[in-house]
Amino acid sequence: MSSLLACTQPTYMLVVEGLVKEFKKGPRIGPISFKISRGGIFALVGPNGAGKTTTIRMLLGIYRPSAGEIYLCGKKVRSLQGVASYVPEESAVYPRLTGYEHLYFYALLYTGDRAHARLLADKAAKYTGLSTRDLKRKVQEYSKGMKRRLLLGIALALETPILVLDEPTAGLDVHSAVHIRNLIKSEAEKGKTIILSSHNMFEVERLADTVAFINKGRIVALGTPRELLEKYSARDLEEAFVKATSR
């Protein structure tokens, strides 16, 4: 898994081609296509119900796509399950476990090795920015922001080549949000490929090198933030997004 972090052979780390999900009840999502280079930060932006979560779930193997293909480091894969770490929008935790137990639990699930998991959990503990005392407390005593930092900490520390983040800084105070954004940037510089879904245009503009506007199950615009601003003659991404999705 960590060898994929060193994947330099193809131009793109992740290639998604014509991904479609058809539900028995509900709208059709797709076709979705995009490419992300190694160490790239790709942002999926769209209103509620646009298909962001379904797209992420197809990528992660939670939903089996009705059509389309995924290539990881040039190799066709069924999904990113096991090679991507993920932080969903909802900070779901086990209330009776301590913060550190969470870190160790996920580290052991990904590595399967106790010694390695211990090292990753210690690394994740630093990423969370939570004190040792807080990490020894049961998570049921945590605030929403602390839970988010916990899950982000472990997702960032895991040696997965891909990191998928759904609204990574939602619910965090300014200091925590800045801390997390810096970590995301730093992990991308180390070669981690990051996919994030966000409503926060400021965040997207600051972090992403590729942005996809998604609306009604389809990508309506795709490019670097600069390309999108030029294409829609917009002052910022928010304006570009409004113009792209109102057409």
Partner 1 sequence: MDKSGLGRIRALASKDAREFIRDRRTIALMVISAFLFPLLGLMVAGLKTQQKALVAINICDEGAYAEALANLIKEYITKYTPFNTTVVHNASNCGAVPGATVTLMIPRNFSVNASSLGRPVIVRLYKLVGSPAAADAESVINTALSVFSRVLATERVKRLSEIAGLQLNPDYVLEPVRIVSEAVTETGAIASPEAEEKAEIARFLAFAVFFVLNPAAIAVADAVARERESGTGEILAVTPLRGTEFVMGKTLGSISAVAIAGSLDLAAALAYGYAVLAGSTTPISVALFHSLQTILAILVTVSITIFATLLVPGQRTATLLTSLITGTAMLIFFSALFVDIQALPAPIKAIMYIVPYTHTVLAIQSYALGNTVRALEHSLVVVLLSLGLFIGSARVYKPDRLVKR
Which of 2, 18, 62, 141 is close enough to bind partner 1 by CB under 8 A?
Answer: 62
Which of 81, 131, 143, 224 is close enough to bind partner 1 by CB under 8 A?
Answer: 81
Handedness of CA 237, 154, 69, 62 (dihedral sign): negative
Alpha helices in 129-214 (DSSP H): 132-135, 144-157, 174-189, 201-207
Q: Does residue 241 bind partner 1 (CB under 8 A)?
A: no
How far is Cα 160 from Cα 62, in angstroms, rounded to an integer? Answer: 17
Per rule CB under 8 A, count of chain residues that contact partner 1: 35
- Please count the CA atoms within 13 angstroms of the CA of 200 that sit on its side-chain side: 18
Residue (61 or 145) nearer to partner 1, CB: 61
Residue (158 or 221) nearer to partner 1, CB: 158
How far is Cα 4 from Cα 193, in angstroms, rounded to an integer? Answer: 10
Site string for partner 1, 158-197 (x = CB under 8 A): ------x---------------------------------
Q: Does residue 146 bind partner 1 (CB under 8 A)?
A: no
**Min dist. Cβ of residue 4 to partner 1 (A):** 13
What does the DSSP 8-state code read for residue 2? Answer: G
Q: Does residue 100 bind partner 1 (CB under 8 A)?
A: no
Residue 147's φ and ψ, nearest 5 degrees, are -65, -40
Handedness of CA 53, 41, 222, 7 (dihedral sign): negative
Binding site for partner 1 (CB under 8 A): 1, 57, 60-64, 80-82, 84-88, 90, 92-94, 96-97, 101, 105-106, 108-114, 117, 138, 151, 164
